[in-house]
Amino acid sequence: MRKSLIRFYMIPLLGLMVCLGACDNEPDEEEVVARVGDHVLTRQVVFQLIPEDVRGSEREGLIRRIVDQWVNNLTIAEVARREGISLTPSEEWHIENLESEMLASKYFQSKSRFDLPVTDQEILDFYNTHKEEFVRNQDEVRLVHLFLEKLDNALVKEVRASKSLLEVIEKNKPIAGQLEEPNGDLGYVPVTQLRSEFQKAIRGEKSGTIYGPVKTKDGHHFLQILDRKESGTVMELALVKEDIARRLKFEKRQEQFRQLTEKARKEFGAETFYEKIF
């Protein structure tokens, strides 16, 4: 999979390198790893194309592919020019636009803040004015889950004597393996997303009750319902606070981009004539 991803982003970048000549100024000869006529490829450019986690023989192989592809593209491109093959206006526009996109992206990164502060008051104000977005559309339960591949009589006895399944889990630290439900507090979970065995077990049970063991193909489960929330109720602020903060940071960042873009458009007198298209 990773090799496919490497090829996915390497090809368009190499295409841009071919179009831009890979290097604008004549570099130190010690930096040159390939040359085709007046075009050179430097170590710096090659290293920038290699993911940091690529090591050893995989790294060496990727370097060879980058260099070979660059040389092949340039030499074949020169043959194409000699035979009168050229890019269409649309293809030339794509090259220019790709360069502009990359420069614009670097500009935004240099001018924008990524640690934008969001206050608790901003989060609260957003929550109070957008409560309709946080209405549950199905019943939910706050569930504590304990999995045992094989029943341990001592642990089962401890569970049945306890009023808190979470305390039993924290004390014994049993391993849930590769199950979709880890051991511990699962938070609020839509009832319909639970296994059918779990749904049947907790049906009608009061909050606080520890139920189990529930037998499944994986092993044995104990469940405790800490709270129930019906469909149509509003999620508490604590449950959505982090999501709201991320959304507000995103909106602030988008506003930064909008202001920078608007300033640049005014500075260079940008105009649009949609009436000539629609």
Q: What is the pLDDT of residue 258?
A: 95
What pLDDT, on a 0 to 100 scale, did the predictor assign at position 176? 64
d(CA 136, CA 128) in angstroms, rounded, equals 16
Q: Are the C-beta atoms of 40 and 27 separated by less than 8 Å?
A: yes
What confidence category does residue 19 fall into, taking pLDDT thresholds of 50, 70 and 90? very low
pTM over 0.85: no
What is the pLDDT at residue 25?
62
Phi and psi for 116 in degrees, rounded to 5? -60, 130
Q: Is 225 helix (H, G, I), strand (E, B) or coil?
A: strand
pLDDT bucket at 208, cuts 50 / 70 / 90: confident
| Ranges of H-type helices in the chain | 2-20, 43-48, 56-82, 89-111, 120-129, 153-161, 165-172, 196-202, 237-267
Mean pLDDT score, 111-129: 91
Closest of 27, 28, 25, 32 to residue 46, by C-alpha: 32
What confidence category does residue 178 fall into, taking pLDDT thresholds of 50, 70 and 90?
Answer: low
Lowest mean pLDDT, pick from 20-29, 60-69, 71-80: 20-29
Q: CB 133: neighbour CB atoms within 10 A? A: 14
Does residue 6 register a pLDDT over 80?
A: no
User: How far apart (Å, rounded) are the C-alpha atoms in residues 197 and 74?
Assistant: 63
Instruction: Compute the CA torsion angle 27, 33, 35, 40 (nearest 10 deg).
Output: -40
Where residue 125 falls among pLDDT bands split at 50, 70, 90?
Answer: very high
- How many Å apart are CA 170 and CA 166, to the nearest integer? 6
Q: What pLDDT was estimated at residue 11? A: 46
Q: What is the pLDDT of residue 95?
A: 94
Between CA 92 and CA 240 the distance in angstroms is: 47
pLDDT one-digit tens code per residue, 228-253: 999 999 999 999 999 999 999 999 99
Least confident window among 26-30, 45-49, 214-218, 254-258: 26-30
Half-sphere exposure of 209 (CA within 13 A, CB side): 12
What local confidence, expressed as pLDDT, does residue 221 receive?
94
Domain 136-229 fold: Chitinase A; domain 3 (3.10.50)
Q: How far apart are CA 217 and CA 149, in angstroms?
A: 10
Cis bond upstream, residue 213 (ω within 30): yes
33: phi then psi, degrees, rounded to nearest 5: -110, -10
